């Protein structure tokens, strides 16, 4: 049986360090002791270490050849050496309520290999096992996070017929797209950076 002691949390930061402080603050509010990692995908444009250290979070630098390109397969392989369960989150996720890791572990212990923290149709943040990672994996060639999420949902459903979830709902509030437990702040809320606009300014293809 997996317990919270088996879990590691990681998130990827891409040209929107303004979100990172809020993300880690919300994580530490509910899970102050869970091992947490930030994958630095800023290609040297920002130093996120002061923010990460503020919340007792380890920074792992992106060493892939192309700038602003994360190979989630490599990071998952590395983190599975220390943790048997991983939670993935983008850098712009806000956590609204605790208990979702424990609820997700209940589903994992019942035989699920991946559990969404939002709904059955969104892969914005989720928990997964090594079996899921090995059998389904990540399509690292997909352009953009939204397309990656849709692709992940389709492949999970093809492999497992459903996308287990604990989010209960997904709605548009004044400030967030959110489920019960996690959400994305709207653009321009809380100083959220638009990654595509920054890529254009830096003359880097998204």
Residue 184, strand partner residues: 177
- Top-confidence residue, 87 or 176: 87
The whole-model pTM stands at: 0.85
Q: How confident is the model at residue 66 (pLDDT cuts 50, 70, 90)?
A: very low
Q: What is the mean pLDDT of residues 18-22?
A: 87
pLDDT of amino acid 68: 56
* pLDDT for res 6: 97
128: its two tokens: 């997964």
Average pLDDT over residues 22-43: 92
DSSP 46-111: ---HHHHHHTT-EEEE---SSTT---HHHHHHHHTTT-SEEEEEETT-EE--S-HHHHHHHHHHTT
Per-residue pLDDT tens over the stretch 143-191: 455 566 667 777 788 887 888 889 877 778 777 788 889 988 776 666 6
Please report the domains of the chain, with CATH numbers, ordered by start residue.
4-201 (3.90.550.10)
Q: Which two tokens stand for residue 98?
A: 């605790």
């Amino acid at each position: 049986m997996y317990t919270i002691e088996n879990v590691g949390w990681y998130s990827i930061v891409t040209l929107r360090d303004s979100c990172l402080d809020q993300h880690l603050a919300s994580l530490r509010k509910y899970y102050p002791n869970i091992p947490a990692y930030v994958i630095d995908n800023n290609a040297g444009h920002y130093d996120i270490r002061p923010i990460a250290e503020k919340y007792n979070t380890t920074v792992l630098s992106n060493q892939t050849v192309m700038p602003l390109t994360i190979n989630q397969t490599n990071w998952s392989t590395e983190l599975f050496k220390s943790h048997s369960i991983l939670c993935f989150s983008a850098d712009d996720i806000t956590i609204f309520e605790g208990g979702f890791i424990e609820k997700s572990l209940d589903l994992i212990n019942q035989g699920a290999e991946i559990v969404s923290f939002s709904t059955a149709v969104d892969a914005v943040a989720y928990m997964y096992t090594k079996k899921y990672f090995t059998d389904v994996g990540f399509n690292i060639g997909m352009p953009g996070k939204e397309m990656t999420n849709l692709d992940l949902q389709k492949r999970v459903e093809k492999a497992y017929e459903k996308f287990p979830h604990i989010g209960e709902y997904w709605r548009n509030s004044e400030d967030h797209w959110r489920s019960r437990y996690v959400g994305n702040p709207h653009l321009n809320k809380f100083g959220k950076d638009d990654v595509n606009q920054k890529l254009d300014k830096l003359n880097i293809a998204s």
